[in-house]
Amino acid sequence: MKRLIQQRKYFYALSAALLVASVGMLSMWGLKLGIDFKGGTLLEVSWSEGKIPDRGTIEDQLKSVPGVESLVVQPSGDRTALIRYASSNETINEAVLTELKKTDESVELVRSEFIGASVSESIKKNAVMALLLAVIGIILYIAWAFRGVSRPVSSWHYGFQATVALAHDIIITLGAFSLLGHFSGMEVGAPFIAALLTILGYSVNDTIVVYDRIRENLIRSGGTEDFEEVVNQSLNQTIARSFNTSFTVILVLIAISVFGGESIRSFSLALLIGVTAGTYSSIYIATALLVSGNIFRKKHLLRKAESSLLSTGKKKESGKKSVGKKVSSHMVASVVSPAFEGASVLGSAPVVSDASVSAPANASSAKRYQKKRKKGMKRK
């Protein structure tokens, strides 16, 4: 049996490197938003005779059209191209086609899409809301599904660690699209959001398969086996199934990305990256986080118990010292004060009238001593 969980530090290091790189690319370049999120016009144009001109030639030609701003030209195949710009005027669309036909009369408009600014803002809000609701729903469902397994890890920990793995997959996918958008002009739109939601569902499916096997093994062992050993055993039992399932899906996504149309390319690429990251996180991150969380919880409880015992010991010790001080002071006062009762204010030695009377040894002898002393003074 492979000791996969014991190698979790290496998996953490790889994930940390990917996450840092993804966050760095997002902070530097961000995402190249499509017209779904920023508004504008999308034209799909075809050249029926010969190949289309290169992208730079088309951009230089259309820059002279008044009103065309934030122009992006993306070839799609040998005879079609996608033209995006921020303007949303039908007159500008006709001017773009007219300009293209000056160099080639075979240019034809395949389709056109227009999205206003208010619609794009609404799409942004709905996309963020959809992702948040999906994550919250996943946490609640996993916590409910694993409610019967509360030892040694609470059911809420299963949901939380699965969500951390999902965030890992989403951030890596966003970083990859930031890189693609910066160097190849890949835009993100509504299909990209649909791909992110699909990634969430697929990744959590793989994670739950592993978690469910952990639950079965915990119940079977009755809590007598070490939790890390149970997780490692469960992971070895499910790793082949996870790899085989993901590999078949990845093959299909590669075919769609290569041979599919431009309109679904962002969707297929996002799924390809997300499913790959999700398979890795389900096997090597989500389960490892369960073990690390359990170890952290044990250390926390141990420190808490040690501090509690230490504070209890200090209280007992201080209590014993205070009782001892009270007893010793009482004995000293009862024994010493009668012997020094005859001493003067100036600090002279006490006057004892009868040499035969000895110093008291305790409280009762001190009383007898005081009576004998008074009788001696009366005789004098």
Q: Kindly indicate the confidence band of residue 301, based on its pLDDT and cuts at 50, 70 and 90.
A: confident
CATH of the domain at 70: 3.30.70.3400
374 inside domain: no
HSE of 147 in the Cβ direction (CA atoms, 13 Å)? 5
Regarding pTM above 0.75, the answer is no
Query: How many whole angstroms from its chain centre is CA 240?
Result: 27
Give domain status of residue 350, yes or no: no
Boundary residue ending a domain (115, 144, 162): 115
Q: How far is 75 from 55, CA to CA, in rounded Å?
A: 7
Write out the two tokens for 141: 């469902």
Q: HEC profile for 13-78?
A: HHHHHHHHHHHHHHHHHCCCECHHHHCEEEEEEEECCCCCCCHHHHHHHHCCCCCCCCCEEEEECC
Same domain as 67, residue 13: no
Both 295 and 197 in a single domain? yes
C-alpha 295/C-alpha 300 separation (Å) is 9
Rounded Cα–Cα distance for residues 256 and 258 (Å): 6
pLDDT digits (tens, 9 = 90+) for 160-210: 889 999 999 999 999 999 999 999 888 888 889 899 999 998 889 889 899
Among 74, 96, 115, the domain-final residue is: 115
Q: Which tokens sit at 92?
A: 């500008």
Q: Are 286 and 208 in contact (CB under 8 A)?
A: no
The Cα 167–Cα 136 span in angstroms is 12
Q: Are residues 213 and 129 in the same domain?
A: yes
- Give per-residue pLDDT as tens, 325-375: 544 444 444 444 444 344 333 344 444 444 444 444 445 555 565 666 655
Given a contact cutoff of 8 angstroms between Cβ atoms, the answer to whether 342 and 350 are in contact is: yes
pLDDT band for position 49 (cuts 50, 70, 90): confident
Q: Domain for residue 349, yes or no?
A: no
For the record, the structure tokens of 78 come out as 């040998």
Per the structure, the count of domains in the chain is 2
For residue 77, tell me if it sits in a domain.
Answer: yes
From 278, 300, 322, the end of a domain falls on: 300
My answer on whether 264 and 288 are in the same domain is yes
74-88, 216-230, 314-328: range with lowest mean pLDDT = 314-328
| Strand order across the 107-115 sheet | 72-76, 80-85, 40-47, 107-115
Name the residue range of residue 80's domain.
40-115
